[in-house]
Amino acid sequence: MTKLAIIGGTGLAQLSDLTIIKHDRLTTPYGSPSADFITGELSQKEVIFLARHGNPHILAPHRINYRANIWGLKHLGVEQIIAVAAVGGITAEMVPAHIAIPDHIIDYTHNRKHTFFEDENYPVTHIDFTHPYSPRLRSALIAAAAKANIKISPTATYGCTQGPRLETAAEIKRMERDGCDLVGMTAMPEAALAKELGMDYAAISVIANWAAGKTAGEITIAEIEQNLHVGMANTAELLKAFILLI
Ligand code: HPA
């Protein structure tokens, strides 16, 4: 098996079924990653786990050093990444606690360090990003979900906002018109950086709440935590089934 990494987001700061082998604390040419890279075994296979927001959870999405995280994984020999992230649900199918395997991204972020090819040390480089998520990894995730009997949406467009504030109802309306099914804050530049370094990248999006304006009330942390509890338990099962398939 080629080396696999799992990047855990809000609600998945650690993988409880991971048998830990070692911790690697790296410094990179781009600064410090979010946390130690943890090598361990899941379903008897080696994986590297990284807590995207740090452990404890202290880094807001706009403060994450995405370049250091992706560079560090590449340095450790990782070739495929499964990124887990909490999101808001925009379209009808994306109900709280549900899981989607997104196939597209629209990027609304700004002022993030979003490329490795940023200065005169590199030739001008435009990576192809037609399909931001690896079709091969996505197919394996979808097959694993069927095997583990976990209901998922096999396609979704993820709109990535800057945060850390949540969106206005009008912003969500616009995102829906744009074709977004989900709203989150971390897919970009993470997905593009993985592509720049030639790594396969796919995501498990766990719906934590209805996006702004999609329900009458305000979005509360208590609601998010409750939905993530259910969604992340299913995600852990999905990951175990996925590892047995690849
Ligand atoms: N918006 C953006 N990011 C999110 C949300 C949301 O509603 N819920 C979880 N992550």
Tens-place pLDDT, residues 204-225: 999 999 999 999 888 899 999 9
* Confidence category of residue 162, pLDDT binned at 50, 70, 90: very high
Collect all residues with Cβ–Cβ distance below 8 Å to 124 and sequence separation of at least 6: 117
**In terms of Cα–Cα distance, which of 85, 100, 99 is closest to 12?**
85
Tokens of 204: 């498990």
* Confidence category of residue 1, pLDDT binned at 50, 70, 90: low
Interval between CA 88 and ligand 1 midpoint (Å): 4
pLDDT > 90 in the chain, percent: 89
Q: Specify whether the CB–CB gap between 203 and 190 falls below 8 A.
A: no
Atom of ligand 1 nearest to the CA of 219: 7
Q: Give pLDDT tens digits for 132-158.
A: 999 999 999 999 999 999 999 999 999
Class of the CATH domain delimited by 3-245:
alpha beta
Q: Give pLDDT tens digits for 39-66.
A: 999 999 999 999 999 988 899 999 999 9
Q: What is the pTM of this model?
A: 0.97
Strands 37-42 and 45-51: antiparallel
Pocket of ligand 1 (CB under 6 A): 86-88, 161, 166-167, 183-185, 208-209, 211
Residue 141 to residue 149: CA distance in whole angstroms: 12
Q: Specify whether the CB–CB gap between 189 and 124 falls below 8 A.
A: no
Q: Specify whether the CB–CB gap between 3 and 79 falls below 8 A.
A: yes
**In terms of Cα–Cα distance, which of 200, 159, 203 is closest to 177?**
159
| Residue nearest ligand 1's atom 6 by CA | 88
Report helix angle 221-245 to 135-147, nearest 10.
100
Q: Give the H or E element holding residue 226.
A: helix 221-245
Residue 85 pLDDT exceeds 80:
yes
Alpha helical stretches, state H, 43-198:
66-75, 135-147, 169-178, 187-196
**In terms of Cα–Cα distance, which of 196, 190, 216 is closest to 5?**
190
Mean pLDDT value across the chain: 96
Q: Where are the beta strands (DSSP E) in the chain?
A: 4-8, 19-24, 37-42, 45-51, 80-89, 99-100, 104-107, 152-153, 157-160, 182-184, 200-210
Domain boundaries, the chain: 3-245
